[in-house]
Amino acid sequence: MRILVVEDDKSNAEYVRDGLIESGHNVDVASDGMDGLYLATEQKYDALIVDRMLPKLDGLALIQALRSSGNKTPVLVLSSLAKVEERVKGLRSGGDDYLVKPFAFSELLARIETLTRRSTVDNSDNGLIKVGDLVMNLMSHTVTRSGKNIPLQNREFKLLEFLMRHPDQVVTRTMLLEGVWDFYFNPQTNLIDAQVSKLRQKIDKGFEKSLIHTIRGAGYKVSVNP
């Protein structure tokens, strides 16, 4: 995913940026509201992380300007203002979620993944996710490749869905553990490798081109290109 972080606190911006990059995302950073608004309108992002109190243009005013222009990119609002009425303001201004500082990075990442997952469903063609000739139907809970039905167990379906929501992007073992299993432990466990291997047998076996690729030392990706 490509994510824009709008945060004037340098240390916090670096913390979020570095964590997102480590998780396999492309990240741009703006240090004030005006630069953030410019980047958000000139570039295409999968999600925005916007601090509420920003120089030059307040975070909520930034979000309102985006929404009034028709920009529907999911926005996670960051703020040290924790009262319920402040959260309500953030959401009513057009924010999709509101996270209070200080926060755990794992929670921020999970919230971003949830927002982009909703966005993918909303913008998909009748609940379909497609990568090459691989098609996942979220409504009927079915998967086909070149028109051939591929039966998957529930966990395999969730694993494939997570990978397909990040096409052409490296998905780390940690991302899979947190996003598919809700586990928070050593990503070196062979659980992920074993499950991906089983999934690959079902998705790629018998087809000329492989779609599930292992990125040595990093993780996995679903792509029509190696």
Domains identified in the chain, total number: 2
Residues 201 and 190: their CA atoms lie apart, in Å, by 17
Examine the domain organization and report whether 172 and 101 are in the same domain.
Answer: no
**Which among 171, 174, 179, 162 has a CA at the least distance from the CA of 213?**
171
pLDDT in tens, the chain (226 residues): 789 999 999 999 999 999 999 888 889 999 999 999 999 998 888 899 999 999 999 999 999 999 998 888 899 999 988 888 888 888 988 998 899 998 889 889 888 887 876 655 444 456 788 899 999 988 788 999 999 999 999 889 989 988 988 888 888 887 787 777 766 555 556 888 899 999 999 999 999 999 999 988 888 999 988 7
Of 121, 140, 162, which marks where a domain is finished? 121
Examine the domain organization and report whether 45 and 77 are in the same domain.
Answer: yes
Examine the domain organization and report whether 113 and 6 are in the same domain.
Answer: yes
Q: Tell me the pTM.
A: 0.55
Q: What is the CATH number of the domain that holds 8?
A: 3.40.50.2300
Examine the domain organization and report whether 7 and 91 are in the same domain.
Answer: yes
pLDDT of residue 45: 87
Burial class (CB in 10 A: 0-12, 13-18, 19+), 117: middle
Examine the domain organization and report whether 44 and 59 are in the same domain.
Answer: yes
